[in-house]
Chain A
């Protein structure tokens, strides 16, 4: 078992944002989390990455609890993520974004950074080379020297994924990767995500509203509503679950 959430509860003040969330993700899964807006999906990601502490319950990664670990320790440990509303660094080039993502895999400390020692230069050169490869893979190498904030929306989403990949994670959490994309961009994204799993061996957990993407990509998924788990299983099973249909029909009536 790569990642396991055990009865995770999160309360903000008096409000329960998540109650009793439990699921397991196996290595090689593309695992989906779906549900209406405000259901608590992103909160699950925030629990896994240590943004907020869990109120009760446990999060196990490779069988070990990662609750209480700092965010950067969790990323370092092998879980990277992207953001629902793109968060790129102003005034940084595309290449620099990848290098920032690669930060936790580099070793140069303060002294090396001040003196630009031989080992620092070597590490830096290797990182840059690897970053170019990664950018080539996601199709952004031609804009490596551009400011990230000048990229079109679809490419910014890709860059976020590439930045997460640069941390050499075992799992990537994708928060609505297809949001705002048109059909052809979504199709390319589906291929990209599959490729990340197949070629890099990275397990994927994704939050998504695009049902087509979820149903094509995910081998398993959970449905969340009002902070509770409504259903869990393979896409086909979940699709026919009455509770899920009700939740979604209710939503589509809006």
Chain B
């Protein structure tokens, strides 16, 4: 137990959770067949908004994180209005450009402190541990306050990931989810089956931007330091890879992809020089050999059938 609770493992766990959320944001737009390459931009909006609100205006952290998400979604609405009704490639390029614009703006503004970035962002772990010690929980567990804070943060993030996962799963198995799937499969036929394609695409895009903003805010409060280099194009490539590697057609894909691709580079620190070379080759190879990723529709169905059979064969 003691070993599991060391700061390094907890830190990695925090990043796994944040990366899962980021991978899910790519997945959310893909649900309607859209590729959004601006999620680093939305992430940076969320991160800076939440950090500035918490630092300068003492806004309580849950509220500032929520604001980060809302601001990101509001910006997505502005980007989405002209582009979302166009061919999908336009959204890809417009969002990519948006990400760059955001980075340049963050580099130049005073409130973001330019290239130096913001440091001393209130820590989510310590704010959680303060809260817990007020309730007397820390003494009850017998942990030092730092570990307790990190542990609580892991739990909070895990709950968040589970909630997002749970509600998105519900959404997929509903009228809205069917509309998403129909649009992804054949936009034209979907619109001629009575589905308001623009509305649902926008919905998916806003969800994606909102959670990218939330993930950015969480990132800010998990690392206490953000600068424009945290939200570059490479961040988008990472997110894309999580989703595409794990499987871009099923929810479990981003989960698997983000988890594996966060842990593996951590354990292969020595190879970090080659990381991007390997990532690049992986993207090419995946598209060539397994464009649906590790977990495709068929793979998930097969696993589900196996799971049903093996534990309770009598049923």
Are the chains A and B members of one assembly?
Answer: yes
Q: How far is the CA of A104 from the CA of B45 in the complex (A)?
A: 36
Task: Indicate if B189 sits at the interface (CB-CB under 8 A).
Answer: yes
Residue pair B185, A91 in contact (C-beta under 8 Å):
yes
Binds A, one of B103-111, B166-174, B262-270: B166-174
Q: How far is the CA of A167 from the CA of B189 in the complex (A)?
A: 13
Residue pair A103, B194 in contact (C-beta under 8 Å):
yes
Q: Which of B178, B182, B185, B203 contacts A110 (CB 8 A)?
A: B203
Q: Among residues 142 to 170 in chain B, which have CB atoms less than 8 Å away from a CB atom of chain A?
A: 167, 170
Q: Which of A72, A92, A109, A120 contacts B195 (CB 8 A)?
A: A72
Question: Which residue of B is nearest A167, CB measured?
Answer: B194
Residue pair A80, B178 in contact (C-beta under 8 Å):
no
Q: Contact mask B193-214 → A, CB, 8 Å, 1/0?
A: 1111100000100000000000
Task: Indicate if A124 sits at the interface (CB-CB under 8 A).
Answer: yes
Residue pair A103, B174 in contact (C-beta under 8 Å):
no
Residue pair B179, A71 in contact (C-beta under 8 Å):
no
Question: In the complex, how many residues of chain A place their beta carbon closer than 8 angstroms to a beta carbon of chain B?
Answer: 37
Task: Indicate if B188 sits at the interface (CB-CB under 8 A).
Answer: yes
Task: Indicate if B192 sits at the interface (CB-CB under 8 A).
Answer: yes
Chain A residue contacts of B174, Cβ below 8 A: 108, 112-114, 116, 120, 124
Q: How far is the CA of A69 from the CA of B287 in the complex (A)?
A: 39
Residue pair A103, B188 in contact (C-beta under 8 Å):
no
Residue pair B195, A89 in contact (C-beta under 8 Å):
no
Question: In the complex, how many residues of chain B place their beta carbon closer than 8 angstroms to a beta carbon of chain A?
Answer: 26
Q: How far is the CA of A99 from the CA of B179 in the complex (A)?
A: 10
Residue pair B192, A51 in contact (C-beta under 8 Å):
yes
Q: How far is the CA of A72 from the CA of B189 in the complex (A)?
A: 11
Chain A residue contacts of B175, Cβ below 8 A: 99, 103, 106, 108, 112-113, 120, 123-124
Residue pair B178, A71 in contact (C-beta under 8 Å):
no
Question: Which residue of B is nearest A109, CB measured?
Answer: B176
Task: Indicate if A32 sits at the interface (CB-CB under 8 A).
Answer: no
Task: Indicate if A81 sits at the interface (CB-CB under 8 A).
Answer: yes
Q: Contact mask A156-186 → B, CB, 8 Å, 1/0?
A: 0000000110010000000000000000000
Q: Which of A70, A80, A112 contacts B196 (CB 8 A)?
A: A70
Q: Which of A51, A99, A109, A115 contacts B170 (CB 8 A)?
A: A115
Q: Among residues 60 to 90 in chain A, which have CB atoms less than 8 Å away from a CB atom of chain B?
A: 70-72, 75-76, 80-81, 83, 87-90
Q: Among residues 192 to 240 in chain B, which have CB atoms less than 8 Å away from a CB atom of chain A?
A: 192-197, 203
Residues of A within 8 A of B (CB): 49, 51, 70-72, 75-76, 80-81, 83, 87-92, 96, 99-101, 103-104, 106, 108-110, 112-116, 120, 123-124, 163-164, 167
